[in-house]
Amino acid sequence: MEVNLVWEGIKFMFLGMTTVLLFLVLMIVLMSYMSKIIQKYFPEPQGVVETASGSTAQNADKKKKIAAITAAIMHHKKIGN
């Protein structure tokens, strides 16, 4: 009785690859269902709407940052010459 070891190795390789593929597909499906269930019972809270005073404070901060960056660039240009 002659056993072809190459053929046996190929069969085991495909058996292992098929097992891993089926496990990964099953894991993806189960994680998708789990995600839907969690989103159903624990929805994410909606974002807070900013008021007008909050947005002006942020605009003032942005303007200060822009002014500081501009001053730094001008200072660098002055020193470079």
Q: What is the residue-averaged pLDDT of the chain?
A: 88
9-47 pLDDT tens trace: 999 999 999 999 999 999 999 999 999 999 999 888 887
Residue 73 domain-assigned (yes or no): yes
Name the band, by pLDDT with cuts 50, 70 and 90, for residue 53.
Answer: low
According to the model, what pLDDT value does residue 72 have? 92
58 CB contacts (<8 Å, ≥6 apart)? 50
Q: How many domains does the chain have?
A: 1
Output the pLDDT for position 48. 66
Full domain range(s) for residue 62: 5-42+57-80
The pTM of this model reads 0.49
In a domain? residue 47: no
Q: Residue 62: inside a domain, yes or no?
A: yes
- Give Cα 36 distance to the centre of its chain: 18
